[in-house]
A and B are shown apart, each in its own frame.
Chain A
């Protein structure tokens, strides 16, 4: 009997210490449309909705990637320790990632923890949510490239350190080709270079010219229709054989202000 009482007392004490024994661990619980926010710490839900709405609008405007009525759950943790404790058994990928997007059975979930880059993380993961609501599948470089492009507000782009690094890498021909990125086996295998190169190629397609953006938009539309157009680098050869060859030149002179969100100038000049 004494060991049982001791065990109960210990578990009760653990519950008190961790706060898990309370009615709910979530300080914030708010639903808006098809999205639900859970947070272990106090945070302005309105600010989060505003950021995520902006991302959703930019994706729709630039590439026609539209939100659907599928449910989205956003789960925020007060600390990295809490985040890892919660996810380590179910999603071990969390160990090396600041935030996670997980989709199963038509429900998208975003997991993140409170840090200085929280809004950036949420914008990044929201791009994955919208991409995978709109498309049945997405090439990894495009999925992560779009997330990297839209994770920061437009104003903060000017000082992006990765742009400077990219220019240097392009100068010594060290930017991976799209064919190399298309061979990446999984998101877990991506390192910082792969993320930056995915961002670079996606930026190139979004901003180099109306023509480059139209090609990317057509590719996205084909996947959305339910077909499998194959690798972009092969597919694009039938649309514009020399488009990708302009990539390295673009990277060397990449402009400091990238407008990812402008709508396509349909019927305008090609370049």
Chain B
């Protein structure tokens, strides 16, 4: 019995070690905050116009879009130019607009009953997760690139400063020449009448 427990502990240790070695980022909890429901104003004939975008807000064409009502599929379409999708024949009520990598919970309203906050062309973000980073990790190509950029900038700035200096010197010399010419004129005897 003791031997079996020992083996079990050993297996557990190995599994835990493997888990530590191949760990993923922290698992996220289910308490991700309340889901916002978008109020959407339908057009005549139950017309829905929506736009599929990426996480930067750029339109995505050729994306499959489904409209669900209580989990049941009620319409499908594909986004065209500018990411736009139009579907007719929809009814007011709670729905979900679903793309391959995103979804938007909505409440559809007829135009005459829609609240002021309702919008006509909701955007559906076709992306599930997002990564942004603080620039500043270090690797050799980056350091070489940074060195070359700084070097080029220093040379450029130096050249501009030299040009500025030359211009200033030129202006100063022109001033001196003008002053000398004026002095020569003053020293010259007046012309005979």
Q: A residues within 8 Å of B by Cβ? A: 4, 7-8, 11-12, 14-15, 18, 20-21, 34, 38, 68-71, 73, 75, 86-87, 89-91, 93-107, 109, 111-112, 117, 121, 124-125, 128, 132, 136-140, 143-144, 147, 151, 165, 168, 171-172, 187-188, 190-192, 195, 223, 225-231
Number of interface residues of B (CB under 8 A): 55
Task: Determine if A100 and B132 form an interchain contact, defined as CB atoms under 8 angstroms apart.
Answer: yes
17 intermolecular pairs with C-beta atoms under 8 Å apart = A71-B28, A86-B23, A95-B139, A103-B129, A107-B28, A124-B134, A137-B53, A137-B127, A165-B153, A168-B153, A192-B135, A226-B104, A227-B119, A227-B123, A228-B51, A228-B53, A228-B59
Task: Determine if B137 and A96 form an interchain contact, defined as CB atoms under 8 angstroms apart.
Answer: yes
In the assembled complex, the Cα of A207 lies from the Cα of B127 at a distance in Å of 32
Classify the secondary structure of B's interface with A. Answer: mixed
**Which residues in chain B, 24-57, are within 8 Å of chain A measured between CB atoms?**
24-26, 28-29, 31-35, 38, 51, 53-57
In the complex, the chain B residue whose C-beta lies closest to that of A143 is: B132
8 nearest A-B residue pairs (beta carbon): A106-B32, A97-B133, A70-B33, A228-B123, A98-B136, A107-B28, A104-B129, A96-B137
Task: Determine if A136 and B132 form an interchain contact, defined as CB atoms under 8 angstroms apart.
Answer: no
What A residues does B38 contact at CB under 8 A? 226
Q: A15-B16, A70-B33 are in contact. List 19 more A-B contacts (CB 8 A).
A: A15-B13, A68-B33, A71-B32, A73-B28, A90-B23, A90-B25, A93-B131, A96-B139, A97-B136, A98-B137, A100-B134, A105-B32, A138-B57, A140-B56, A147-B132, A225-B117, A226-B38, A227-B123, A228-B51
Q: B residues within 8 Å of A by Cβ? A: 10, 13-14, 16-17, 20, 22-26, 28-29, 31-35, 38, 51, 53-59, 83, 104, 117, 119, 121-123, 125, 127-137, 139, 142, 145-146, 149, 153, 156-157, 160
In the assembled complex, the Cα of A124 lies from the Cα of B135 at a distance in Å of 10
Nearest-neighbour CB distance to chain A for B154, whole angstroms, equals 11
Of B20, B104, B130, B134, the contact of A102 (CB 8 Å cutoff): B130
Q: A109-B28, A228-B83 are known contacts. Are A7 and B14 too (CB-CB below 8 A)? A: yes
In the assembled complex, the Cα of A137 lies from the Cα of B54 at a distance in Å of 7
Classify the secondary structure of A's interface with B. Answer: mixed
Nearest-neighbour CB distance to chain B for A52, whole angstroms, equals 15
Most buried by B among A73, A102, A191, A228: A228
